[in-house]
Structure 1
């Protein structure tokens, strides 16, 4: 498709192509025909079919962490782009609560940056276990011998 002009598609039109015989995926505003790649996808064809049916597969694609070779392979499946596509992070209207995640953040928080500071419970729990062990030792050593 390198020499052909890419087409513009409506998001609703892309959603119509979500079967094993005709599967399109929208990622970052670009439309890919992955029908021929379904059987070869390392995650299985169901992953692509689900991504196709869910509409915009950008978030799911980024969460997986694809290799650079996988990303470069995508160009061979590119057939067009979504009309009027706006990146979700650029629009505050996408999240009614105003809790947009920062760009490049992952859905699993806490894996980046320093660990949380110690809490009082982190200190108290080992002391409780130590006290329980001492009480068991005292009981078994002194109290149970008297019976």
Structure 2
């Protein structure tokens, strides 16, 4: 779900580009964006791919069956870069679907992707005690409970 729709309820013509980017990254990695993986330190796959991309190690996350086929590393890396271009935080930064199709169909130079949306780091020191005081994956919102009692 695109960030502008999830956060503000506004659907843009770039919302489908965001979804396509997530799908492309899921295909390249063979993993779901919302899945939990031991080797991923962010709360989702897109964040993990972004971290690897910034470090120049994006090929580490690629599904092995793609590498066994006749796909070159360059083609796979290009798909990762296009996927990251599609999931950029701001809709105005994302390419149109026509531009995405053009990028997939030719070997022209691609721009560098900007920070993707919905990247949150997962804390790894969770010890199972009170989640409001311990580190871990949990909501940071304080919740108050109101008990309604009759007089």
Query: TM-score normalised to the size of structure 1?
Result: 0.23
User: Which is higher, the Rg of structure 1 or of structure 2?
Assistant: 1
Specify which structure has the higher proportion of strand. Answer: 1
Query: TM-score normalised to the size of structure 2?
Result: 0.23
